[in-house]
Every structure is written in C-alpha cells, then in structure tokens.
Chain A
Amino acid sequence: MATEQSTQTPATAPGDTRIHNIGYRSYDGPRLGRGYARLSLYSQSLRGSYGLGRSVKSKVLPMLLFVVMCVPAAIMVAVAVATKANDLPLDYTRYAIVMQAVISLYVASQAPQSVSRDLRFKTVPLYFSRPIETADYVRAKFAALASALFILTAAPLLVLYVGALLAKLDFTDQTKGFAQGLVSVALLSLLFAGIGLVIASVTPRRGFGIAAVIAVLTISYGAVSTLQAIAEVQSSGDAAIAWIGLFSPITLIDGVQSAFLGASSAFPGGVGPSSGEGVVYVLFTLGLIAGSYGLLVRRYKKVGL
C-alpha cells in the first residue's frame, strides 16, 4: 500500500488506469519546522492566559485580576505624588508578597486553562503529531505561563517605577529597587508557573485543578505562617523561623529576596534568613523549578501517546 502510494504520481502518468484521480499532490514547499511550531504554541498559550483569542467570558477573570493587581500601585503613586513623600509607601520587592492572593488566584485559574483542556479533549496526541517533541510542548507551556505571570507581577512594579520617577524620587535608589523587584518577580513567576502546571497537568478537570492549585498555595502558606508565628512566640530563634519558611512558595521567594535582594522580610519578627540560609533558599527554589519541569516532561511522556 505504502509503496503503491509513493510511486503514484498525480495527473497524466501514462498507463494510469485509475478511475478516479482527483489530483492529490504532496506539499513540497518550505516547512517552518519545530522551532516555529514551538513558538506558535508559546504565543498562543500566552495570549490564552489573558483570554486573547478566546471568548469574551474567559477574558473577564484574567483582565480583572490584572487590573486588581495594578490599581493599588497606581493609588500608591498618586499618594506619593500628592503628599510629596520621599519614598514609595511600599518596597518594590514587597508588592508581590502583599498581593499574593491575587497572584495565586491567577495561577490557579490559568494553569488548568492552559493544560487541563488539552488533556480532557485528548488533543495532546494531536500536538505531538506535529514536529514538536514532549520537551517542546512542556517548555512552550511553562514559558507561556511564566511570561504571563511575569507580565502580571512586573506591570504594577513598572507603574510604581514610572510614578516614582515622575514624583522626582531619587533615581539610582528607585532603579536599584525596581531591578531587585524584577529579579524577584521573575523567580516568583517561574516557581508559581512550575507548581501550577504540575498540579494542573495531573487532572483533566478544570474546576478540580483550580481548587488543587489554590489549596497547595494557600494551605502551605497558612501552615507555614502559623508555625512561624508560634515559633516567634515561643522564641525558638530566628533560625527556626527561617527553616520553616522553606516549605511554602511565597515564603521561599520572601526568604530569597530578603537574603540577597535587599528586601525587608515579611516573616514574623521581620528577620529573614541569613545569607548562609539564603543559599539554601535559592537552591531550594531552583530545585523546585527544575523539579517541576522534570515532572512535567515525565507526565507528558506518558499522556502524549
């Protein structure tokens, strides 16, 4: 069968005794290849994370969360300009920690949106019938969600920065804070995207994925901050508080930035990890990001078939 098809040339081959020759021709133009397919998947997933190219209803939530994320920054700028303050009311690095509920909700709603529906409608094998590999799919989805999160978390920082410059606050000071804030939210975006995608890729049910992601993010934070508060009351030392902080994503980011990015810690007592503990924090964060990437690749090795 296969050999017959390959020898069959369309149209007017002499001695062709077929009754029907509807002239199928194979495509011999340029092929855009793997890189292009990956880029398309990336850009489509990124657009999808904000509801672009989807129905009006699915634009509401991500856009609303984006606005909710930026409005407090705008208000702070307005206050700083109006009162002619010497500094912004909130550090750049602190902003994402304060707004963590919004960020968690965004990850929880968009991570399942990005991967669960492909699983539920069994479209994953169709992706792999294109010239992309498992790793390409995972990388594209991971990068898309991380970029979407970075846009969500960096936009209010940009508002703060532009506002601070307009209010004629100290340029070098503000630029330094802004750069530190950007590094911190980039790390946060990668970490949250990894955790969200790993959980969402396990379940084909969107609603269930949302609940699972939010449960992991908030319960771990609730547990860690409760234990830290108790450790502080019991005065078992800053070291205990710092070690407990390793076990939830947001306190992990808080620890990294208060150890290396000059942020004031949101830990009870206001004492973040020392730089020795900070190294553990950074390693732990990078390990979690790499681990979630590895888990995703493993998961899609199975479901891709």
Chain B
Amino acid sequence: MRNISLIIGREYRERVYKKSFIFTTILMPLFMILIGAAPTLIMEFADSETRKITVVDESGIVAPCLESDEEVEFVFSDKNIAETLIATADDEDNFGVLHIGKAIVENPSDARLYTNSSSSMMLEESVADQIEKVIESERLKAYNIENIEEILDKVKASVHLATFRTDKDKESAASSAIASSLVGMVLGFLLYFILAIYGGMVMQSVIEEKSSRILEVMVSTVRPFEMLMGKILGIALVAATQILVWGVLLVVFSAVIMPALMPENLIESVQQVQAGADVSALAMQQDLAPEMLTALASVLDTGQIAMVVAMVLLFTVGGFLLYASLYAAIGASVNQAQDAQQLTTVVTLPIIVAFIVTMMIMKDPNSPIVFWCSLIPFTSPIVMVARIPSGIPAWEIATSLVLLYATFVVCVWGAAKIYKIGIFMHGAKPKLKDLWRWLRY
C-alpha cells in the first residue's frame, strides 16, 4: 500500500505541477465556450457588408415587394437585361443582377442571378425566399378569397411543447429535451476527451518508463501490479482534479456569475420555472422564447448540476480505470509509440462507437441502441453520462456502474499479467496473438 501511494504521489505531482496542466485546466472551458459560440460569431462578423443587387423585373410583380435589408440592397432598373448587364459591368459596388422572367408566377424557375463574384448560400436563400413569398401570395390572390391576409395571420401558430418530469419528487419540475440533450452532448464529448487523452497518457507513460529502462529499477523494488495500479490511480486523480476544477467553475459560474449578469426579474422567472410555474406565461412576460427559459432554468439549477457532476465523476473514474488498464497493457507490450498503432485501434474503436451513439441521444434518449450501449461497460461511460441529463431511472445507472466496475477489475487483472511479461520484452513488435498467450502464461 505504501508503495502504491508513493507511486500515485509521483505520477500525480509530475503532471499536476506542470504549467501545461494548469493552462489546459483553465483554458479548456474558455475554449469550449469559444467553440460553442463560434457559429454565431462567424455569422456576426462574416457578410457584414450590404450587397447591392440590380433587379430587372419583366413581370412587374416581384420588384415592388422586394425588401432591402442589412445584407441586400435592391436597386431597380427599367432597362432590359442585356443593357443592364453591360451598364453594371464596371460598377464595383454592384454585386449582381437579378433577372425575373415575365411569367414568374406560372414558372417559378424563371429567375436568374448574375454575379461577378461568388454569392453566398445565405444570400441566395433570402432572395429566393422573398420571391417565393411574392409568388405564393400572387397565386392565392388568383383564388379571389376575401380577407385572405387576415385569415392567413390567424392561421399562423407557434407551438412550444413544455415537458414535465413526473418521476421526480419535486412535483413536475420542468425539463427541456433540447437543453438536456445539449448538456448530454457536451458531457459525452468531455468523457470521450478524457478517456482518449488520459488513456493515451497512461500508455505513453508506460512506454516511456520501458524505453528509459526505469522499470527494471522499479520492478526490483515494487511488484508490477503496484506499479500499474499506482500509475493508473495517479493519472485518474489528475483527471478527477481537472473535472473537479471544471465542475467547481461551472457551479460557481451558474450560481454566482449568471444571476449577476441577468436582470433581476428574469431570475425571479427562472426560479418560478424551477418551482414548476407555467413556462409559456412567464416567457411571454419576459419576451423570451419558452425553450430559452426552460434551458436557463435547468442550467441554473445548482442541485441538478451537483448531481450531474457527481455522476460524471463516478463514470469517468470507472471508465478511465477500465480504459487505462487496457492502454497500460498495450504500452507494456510495445517498445515505441509507433508500434502501438495496431493495438490502440482495437481499444479506441468502442470509444468512437460510443461517441457516435451519443449523437443519437438527441433523437431519443431511450432508444434500444442507446439503452444497451449505456449498459455495456466499454461504451457505457460515454453514453450513460450523455444520457443522464435527460433523466434516467436509478436502476439503470446503478446496473451500468456495477457492470463497469466489475469489468474494470477483470481488465486490470489481465492487464497486470500482460504488463508483467511485456515490460521485459524488448525486440520484436508483439501481435494480438502474443498478448493472448501472455494472458494465459
């Protein structure tokens, strides 16, 4: 025991006291936020200039209804298309010429956009949208229905389906499928990241010990099993430290900073939603989409966050221990990182499968494939963690945890055997067949 704790301490200190660890721990959440915000930011900054489009409308119907906005400015030309094209050819401000045919209402494809640089999909879509609307209303008018516009206005509806969890003690706390599957996706990605990165770290460090020949010094003093466990647990502690820091940052962020940033009456509304009040009415009052409000409510629920963090920690540790022992066995059986390629593929495959299955949770967190993958130990850490925010029965979580930890024990036993033999094997690159032989040695 003393040896294991000495080794754990060494492995832990070697990593946590490194500058790069402190940087990644702090920068990673920022990085994640940046990635999340990237699409919005790109849209904000790209395409900011207004593009001028000259319109030649032979039908005379569309042009009056085209509306200029921030992106497109429509200019109308009374010349025919050939003349307009020549006239605008040298005008650098002019982005393109839109030609609308005479029979546009009957033949909606009779519209062309000539541009002298490549256009964007957004722009094409918005122009096409506007033309479509004009054509639609023209066609409706042809039916000669009275008060058609009023009728259309009344027909329009926007539905928000508020879902309520009935299995909770708290009577019908609001939950939003979108919010929880988003949180699930982020958690699934986090687990994927941790298993792949930290698992690889274990392998790397075993290979390093083997090639620097420190192993022989160590093994003459401690048992190979102690070395293996010390290393795995030490790196597990590093991973746990990192998640804990992130978790604490998240809790602090949601408990302190978010309320401070938001207007007071919005907080009240959020709290009311958390207490089970009607979302739609409150959303109306705050001039917010109901989804947004429920998402805020679940993100700001500190109790919920603490529960999720605890579960993530349990699954992370279990999943990590399982994969780390496999990675350690690989590291022990090869002489250099390049030789590990073939063997790591076998281990990485379930991680990738699990990550793909995580995407399906968005559609249905209880579909059979998701259900089974969240119980099978090799995929369960990632899939289950991604499912948890959607609300999973306790027995499923418990079964998954028990299976995971039982498999871990078996894998460590096997890995220790391979490790014991592998660390003194220098020379030929081992095949899967050799590993199997060492296992039965």
Are both chains from one complex?
A: no
